[in-house]
A and B are shown apart, each in its own frame.
Chain A
């Protein structure tokens, strides 16, 4: 099963890299946005030594993972279903888990590259300092949980998307809305009405962004968070809960072909 999964992952990655438009739009877009936001909103924080661009660089990691996981997975699966790839694979000894692991390999590869690119832009362009070892440890579990949650939700939502053609448009609606209300595009999040913060808190993106800010920003920045603290325990809890929700949704919505009822 491992070799099947790896072989599938290999082809998935090849597929993605060869389709240049998807490379540019899915992969480079978050980095372009970071450059744009970072440049427009230069240095506008009172806190010593922290620029708005650095805040964007850290929060934008949540966006990067969300687009790679949720959008790539959701649209990719809808496409595989529509063009019959899933059906063809269904007619082979390949188990569903190996198919999904193959996709996860693609998402993971992309997410690692995406995170590396965003951190690189943050460090090189916006002088974002790299964190110490203990913060990297937090980064590791936060990154892992985030990728899993976004991927599972991508799989789940693909079952709802009717046509692959519209997948990109549909999937980007929740993505963009969540960026605005989760403290990614608009920081500090406390500028938003309380009820909107409550809504954002129900979804994983707010917690992902908050966690990445903990990793890359000085401790004093926690005063700008909704709770005035980093809340690492709660971040882990919410993301863990979303893993379970995502898995249940996946199992409930997964279809091999369009015609299945």
Chain B
């Protein structure tokens, strides 16, 4: 199934405009086969527009797109049987039942997966005969995912796959995506959930205002950011004047000192050196590594207002 050295997704200098608005502004990225790539960014960062171009729903206003080595617009009909597409919402016959919808989409595929298996795997058995419009948001999402997977795609596009799902369904979905990757299927997903990206993605692309703000593996992205919090337990009531000149520091509770900021090795040594210099008796140390969420927030924060306080 893995087709040699042709990338799953190859995007070069892509621009997408809606009237005067530039939604995607010169994005280039490459996703190798058999890996999971997560596209992160705020609403309006251009994720869905970029996905639309990859899915062949619209032509880019500039740049080139190759999906499994093919042009998604010009070679649409030849490409579609190899893709699985999960849209954010809509587009399913509201009066048809979940099982009927899945079987309909299965009928479009040359060699579909067993629909009964998918219904069981995605926990849709109880609502198999329920009409789409009566399904809950999470159930609609699960059906949508089943529809994207039923044709045994080589590459799947998942636009916020777990939005609206409960914890259990989310874990099932994660498991399914991991199985897809194990089978050599390539996955390109967008998400707002940093833990989702950190758990699933081999590669992460963070978008901001239609451009790529950062790319890398989750480990690379978090490692580059280093330690951002050092907590030191020492004698209470130390005079911090000298340390404050060089670092952000506060005595959060008596004897508990919190030093914040991007702390590299030299900075850590400097902090500990200061404690040694004032003859403080240090009894405990703890550091916090930046999470993907911190990286994400610092990269995507466009104004000085705090965007998210998820932590």
* Residue B274 lies at the interface, judged by CB distance under 8 Å to chain A: no
On whether the beta carbons of A83 and B80 are closer than 8 Å, the reply is no
Interface residues on A, range: 20 to 34
On whether the beta carbons of B100 and A11 are closer than 8 Å, the reply is yes
* Residue A234 lies at the interface, judged by CB distance under 8 Å to chain B: no
On whether the beta carbons of B108 and A91 are closer than 8 Å, the reply is no
Q: A7-B104, A91-B85 are in contact. Are A18 and B91 (CB under 8 A)?
A: no
* Residue B255 lies at the interface, judged by CB distance under 8 Å to chain A: no
A89 to B57, CA, bound (A): 11
* Residue A88 lies at the interface, judged by CB distance under 8 Å to chain B: yes
Q: A15-B93, A18-B131, A256-B57 are in contact. Are A93 and B87 (CB under 8 A)?
A: no
On whether the beta carbons of B93 and A11 are closer than 8 Å, the reply is yes
Across-interface contacts of A4 in B (CB, < 8 A): 107-108
Across-interface contacts of B101 in A (CB, < 8 A): 11
A75 to chain B minimum Cβ distance, whole angstroms, is 15
On whether the beta carbons of A15 and B80 are closer than 8 Å, the reply is no
A18 to B93, CA, bound (A): 11
On whether the beta carbons of A93 and B108 are closer than 8 Å, the reply is yes
On whether the beta carbons of A11 and B87 are closer than 8 Å, the reply is no
B128 to chain A minimum Cβ distance, whole angstroms, is 15
A259 to B17, CA, bound (A): 11
A99 to chain B minimum Cβ distance, whole angstroms, is 10
Q: Closest A-chain residue to B101, C-beta based?
A: A11
One of A88, A93, A260 near B92 (C-beta < 8 A): A88
Across-interface contacts of A259 in B (CB, < 8 A): 18, 58
Q: In residues 97-116 of chain B, which contact A (Cβ within 8 Å)?
A: 100-101, 103-105, 107-110
A10 to B93, CA, bound (A): 12
B121 to chain A minimum Cβ distance, whole angstroms, is 20
Q: Closest B-chain residue to A256, C-beta based?
A: B57
Q: A83-B91, A91-B57, A92-B108 are in contact. Are A14 and B151 (CB under 8 A)?
A: no
Q: In residues 50-106 of chain B, which contact A (Cβ within 8 Å)?
A: 55-58, 77, 80-81, 83, 85, 87, 89-96, 100-101, 103-105
One of B55, B83, B89, B100 near A14 (C-beta < 8 A): B100
Across-interface contacts of A14 in B (CB, < 8 A): 95-96, 100
Q: A85-B93, A88-B91 are in contact. Are A93 and B100 (CB under 8 A)?
A: no
Q: In residues 114-154 of chain B, which contact A (Cβ within 8 Å)?
A: 131, 147, 151
User: Other than the known A14-B100, A92-B80, what 5 A-B pairs have Cβ atoms closer than 8 Å?
Assistant: A4-B107, A7-B108, A84-B90, A87-B57, A88-B91
